[in-house]
Amino acid sequence: MRMRKKKHGAERLAACSAILCERPEVPFTGESGNFPRVAPIRLEIGCGKGGFSCAMAEKNPNVNFYAMEKVSDVLVIAAERAMGEADRRPDNLRFLRGDAATLPEWFADGALEGIYLNFSDPWPKAGHKKRRLTYRAFLTLYFNALKAGGFLALKTDNDGLFDFTLEELEFLGYTPLWQTRDLHASPYNEGNVMTEYEKQFSEAGKNINALYVIKP
């Protein structure tokens, strides 16, 4: 997501320090004390403006959520939204400024119960495929961070990225538990929380692809 440079970005982010985590010296485990309650941990990678993680945290009080975003000017929008009203601020949601490539520096192997990838940048040129967040090297990081029985859930408008993801999963020996080319018309839509991009694309009539893989 490209944004015009935000004024006072650093100060605005600093004002959200209550819900931001710095990159730890020792990677977080499932028990790390960033949350008031010990609970299963899920991570959204590339949270954008944060609507999905905010809504998921509210809907699932017995799960602790991290939302990771690499672009500070986008992260600040998400974090300010979550800071919003102090009395309604979810205590099970924390934000991380970082790149998916640094995942092992944030999370110990097996720390996560679930990972969400929503509308990741498609990087359509063949020469850029290693930048796609579902390139095999990224998927390997995700599956290392997941515990056995944990899940990777992906949604994308981009049919090419979806096909590529299925190929990369197959290369690594993973078969999705389910997949659909039209999430909103499928049985898997029950309980679905729409992201900002998802609302835009589906309002424009685009089918939404989705898949769900479990780590054996």
Any contact of residue 119 with ligand SAH (CB under 6 A)?
yes
Strand partners, 107: 28
Count of residues that interact with ligand SAH, criterion CB under 6 A:
21
Any contact of residue 114 with ligand SAH (CB under 6 A)?
no
150: left (phi over 0), alpha (psi -120 to 50) or beta: beta
Query: Closer CB to ligand SAH, residue 70 or residue 81?
Result: 70
Considering only residues 20, 54, 92, 120, which one is a binding residue for ligand SAH as defined by CB under 6 A? 120
Is the CB of residue 79 less than 8 Å from the CB of residue 20?
Answer: yes
Task: Answer yes or no: 121 catalytic.
Answer: yes
Any contact of residue 196 with ligand SAH (CB under 6 A)?
yes
20: left (phi over 0), alpha (psi -120 to 50) or beta: beta
- Whole-angstrom CA distances from 77 to 24, 96, 174 are 23, 13, 35
**Placement of tokens 């056995």 in the chain:** 148
Query: Closer CB to ligand SAH, residue 13 or residue 47?
Result: 47
DSSP string across 46-101: S-TT-HHHHHHHHH-TTSEEEEEES-HHHHHHHHHHHHS-GGG--TTEEEEE--GG
Any contact of residue 80 with ligand SAH (CB under 6 A)?
no
The site map against ligand SAH for 10-49 (x = CB under 6 A) is -----------------------------------xxxx-
Q: Which of 87, 91, 99, 121 does the annotation list as catalytic? A: 121
Token pair in block for residue 31: 């028990």
Is the CB of residue 203 less than 8 Å from the CB of residue 179?
Answer: no
Any contact of residue 1 with ligand SAH (CB under 6 A)?
yes
Any contact of residue 73 with ligand SAH (CB under 6 A)?
no
Any contact of residue 121 with ligand SAH (CB under 6 A)?
yes
Q: How far is the CB of 177 from ligand SAH (least distance, A)?
A: 22
Considering only residues 13, 28, 76, 118, which one is a binding residue for ligand SAH as defined by CB under 6 A? 118
Any contact of residue 53 with ligand SAH (CB under 6 A)?
no
CB atoms within 10 A of CB 197: 21
> Catalytic residue numbers?
121
Point out which residues bind ligand SAH (CB under 6 A).
1, 45-48, 68-71, 74, 99-100, 118-121, 133, 195-198
